[in-house]
Amino acid sequence: MNRLERIRIRPGAKAALRSRDAGDRLGLATKEAALALLADHGARLAILSAKLAATRAKAVLLVLQGIDCSGKDGTTKAVFDHVSPTYLNVVSFKAPTATELGHDFLWRVHCALPARGAIGIFNRSHYEDVLVVRVDSLVPEAVWSRRYDAINEFERHLVNEGTVLVKCMLHLSRDEQAKRLRERLADPVKNWKFSADDLAKRAQWDAYEEAYDAMLERTSTDWAPWHVIPADHNAVRSAVVAELLAATLDGLGMEWPSLDESLRGLVVS
């Protein structure tokens, strides 16, 4: 089984996060090997993203989910290092505003989707509505439990209408999160990333693990499968997301659009 097949969750399969190794290097023995793979796929993505913009073949949506410190921002920076920001559309989802709460949970998501030709990056997403919302009982169970099916139907609709979804759950271990939170507390450059809420969420570790397991089991579909990315090693995490995204874009079989017949023979004086 290749690397990308190993991280894919088959529809209906249990991810069993507790039994997965967040420190798995996925065959990338050293940091240098992971960085070399990242550089290769990063360079491919620079070209593929331009082809996507040129052809408007599809809209591409990268969904990044993961607990605090799992590297959602770091992945965005590393994977798209060589891609022109012109082609990107990054959206970070925070707790909903009063206006957003006045609508169905997918309303704000729909408004934030990339158009054809663009790559959208969701830092958190509609999946918070079956994660934090479930763990903290922000709505009754009767409401959040319906959302798995609603999300699957929503994503099926998006796929039918020309969006390609690449869903990555960044899987961090408890020990590695502790290390990173301590760094955020100790390092003045990282202080701004720390919030007391991170500790409250860490104290709910088991409940989040359960919610993530349910999400992975119920919303990995043929049309929009989940990938669980071991995230304890930053370089491995970013390299594998870049590999997955490049493979997805490559699979679209895009060619540079040729000059329109009516423009052939024109001379620039």
Q: How far apart are CB 110 and ligand AMP at their closest, in Å?
A: 14
Q: Is residue 59 within 8 Å of residue 115, measured between CB atoms?
A: yes
CB-count burial class (<10 Å; 0-12, 13-18, 19+) for 264: exposed
Q: How far apart are CB 13 and ligand AMP at their closest, in Å?
A: 26
Does residue 102 bind ligand AMP (CB under 6 A)?
A: no
* Smaller CB separation from ligand AMP, 122 or 226: 122
Residue 95 binding: pick among ligand AMP, Mg ion, none (C-beta 5-8 Å cut-off by kind): ligand AMP
CB-count burial class (<10 Å; 0-12, 13-18, 19+) for 165: buried
d(CA 235, CA 259): 40
d(CA 32, CA 53): 31
Q: Looking at 74-82, 94-102, 161-169, 227-235, which segment touches ligand AMP (CB under 6 A)? A: 94-102
Residue 96 binding: pick among ligand AMP, Mg ion, none (C-beta 5-8 Å cut-off by kind): ligand AMP
Q: How far apart are CB 132 and ligand AMP at their closest, in Å?
A: 4
Q: Is residue 247 within 8 Å of residue 44, measured between CB atoms?
A: no
* Smaller CB separation from Mg ion, 68 or 243: 68
> Which one among 29, 94, 196, 251 touches ligand AMP, defined by CB under 6 A?
94
d(CA 126, CA 48): 27
| b/e sequence 79-118, b meaning 16+ C-beta within 10 Å | bbeebeeebbbbbebeebeeebeeeebeebbeebbbeebb
Quick note: the x/- pattern for ligand AMP over 108-137, rule CB under 6 A, is: ----------------x---xx--xx----
Nearest to residue 42, comparing CAs of 237, 249, 240, 242? 242
Does residue 128 bind Mg ion (CB under 5 A)?
A: no
Q: What is the CA radius of gyration of the chain?
A: 19
Residue 155 binding: pick among ligand AMP, Mg ion, none (C-beta 5-8 Å cut-off by kind): none
Q: Looking at 53-61, 90-98, 182-190, 206-214, which segment touches ligand AMP (CB under 6 A)? A: 90-98
Does residue 212 bind ligand AMP (CB under 6 A)?
A: no
How many residues touch Mg ion (CB under 5 A)?
1
Q: How far apart are CB 120 and ligand AMP at their closest, in Å?
A: 16
Q: Contact positions toward Mg ion, by CB under 5 A?
A: 68
Q: Contact positions toward ligand AMP, by CB under 6 A?
A: 68, 93-96, 124, 128-129, 132-133, 197
